[in-house]
Amino acid sequence: MESIINQIEPNITDRSLNQIVTKVLSGERIEPDEAEYLYQKADIALLSQLANVVNNRLNGDYILFNRNFHIEPTNLCVYNCKFCSYRKSARDPESWVITLDEIKSIARRYQNTGVTEVHIVGGVHPKWDLDYYGEIIKTVKEILPHIHVKAYSAIELDYVIRKSKLSYTEGLKKLKEYGLDSIPGGGAEIFDPEVRAKICPEKASGQTWLAIHKAAHEIGIQSNATMLYGHLETYRHRVQHMEAIRNLQDETHGFNCFIPLKFRAANNPMSYLGEVNLIEDLRNYAVSRIFMDNIKHLKAYWPMLGVQNTRLAIHFGVDDIDGTIDDTTKIYSMAGAEEQKPVMTVEHLTQLIREAGRIPAERDSLYNTIKIYS
């Protein structure tokens, strides 16, 4: 450790930055103002070094992936978030509603394929209730009884659980009886109320998102956490967002993974903002890895970031790149992401990881190792 400190610190003339670096290298938690300082003052090479130190401490040389597919039951939605390119009205020719029979057909395609997870998210359909959401899960498990169902963002859950007049705990317990195994991190966006009022004024608050994930953790449902970046937020907003998640993780220990999600500007009312560049993406991954010291895994969602940029992100603290997906999601392709038909075979994923100089490891949805590809 002393040799690493000696390699990095002599090149830093900023005393405040030097103190932060010493804390990171010593395994000490950094404070929110220090994370903001890293965003503002640390150069990209230093951030890469620090994020790699943290990631190697937590995960060694392994980069994780899984075998998964998505089901997106509808893109009709009661909300109309300004950053969203996915939501369509019922009269739009690009709108869809997938029936339970169609969901059965999708599930049958993955029998005997080695797939271990289905990720189910979509729009908040105005007419669906909690039992219908449960029937979707039940339908999948009838065909794929051993698959892990990671389903429904906190925004979907808030709507249907309130509609059912149950508490969050009661609603989640009911979905767990239907077969829900974990919940994804979507809908977090940025927690700051003023930013949220500008980008998604109709949507549930950041406090509601946190309350739903807390309720899930308390009954044994693990989850992920996300942050939408690169729009109207500042570095301070990002750090405050991550601090709220870090604080909840201190309390519940229920988050498996943190996933920064880049705002994509195509086909939505916020297109005028454009998109942040790759350097800012990498900066954000690195600071996220350094700050989120109690969430073991940091994911670069490759359909959002693109395959080549995901390879670079591995050098900025990322240890998870998601999975095979098999061209079953449209959320980011409709927003203009590089990967318009997101599909990666296990061979492609392991090759990408090896090209980044790391060891590929297949995981399950709860981050247990299934196979190491030496």
CA angle 234, 236, 242 (to 5 degrees): 110
Residue 203 has pLDDT above 50, yes or no: yes
Residues 37-60 have pLDDT tens digits of 999 999 999 999 999 999 999 999
Helix 278-291 vs helix 235-252: crossing angle, to nearest 10: 30
Residue 194 lies in a domain: yes
39 in a structural domain:
no
Give dist(CA 189, CA 209) in Å, integer.
10
User: Domain range holding 128?
Assistant: 56-372
Residue 19, domain member (yes or no): no
pLDDT at 87: 86
**Mean local confidence (pLDDT), 1-24:** 72
Is 37 buried (19+), middle (13-18) or exposed (0-12) by CB count in 10 A? buried
Beta-sheet pairing, 255-262 with 369-372 = unpaired
Mean pLDDT on 243-256: 98
For residue 148, what pLDDT band results from cuts at 50, 70 and 90? very high
Q: Quote the pTM value.
A: 0.94
Res. 333 pLDDT band, cuts 50 70 90: low
Residue 67 counted as domain residue: yes
Q: How far apart are CA 68 and CA 345, in angstroms?
A: 11
How would you classify the pairing of strands 182-183 and 62-71?
unpaired
1 has pLDDT over 60: no
Assigned domain for 171 exists: yes
In-domain check, residue 71: yes
Decide which of 235 and 340 is more confident.
Answer: 235
- Number of domains making up the chain: 1
> How confident is the model at residue 93, as a pLDDT?
86
Residue 49 domain-assigned (yes or no):
no
pLDDT at 9 over 60: no
Residue 6: pLDDT over 80:
no
Average pLDDT over residues 242-254: 98
pLDDT at residue 334 is higher than 80 = no
In a domain, residue 40? The reply is no
- Write the DSSP string, 39-55: HHH--HHHHHHHHHHHH
Give the pLDDT of residue 338. 61
Share of the chain above pLDDT 70, in %: 93
Q: Can you point out the beta strands (E) in 181-301? A: 182-183, 222-229, 255-262, 297-298
- Looking up residue 136, the CATH number of its domain turns out to be 3.20.20.70
- What distance in Å separates the CA atoms of residue 242 and residue 237, rounded to the nearest whole number? 9
The reported pLDDT for the residue numbered 71 is: 95
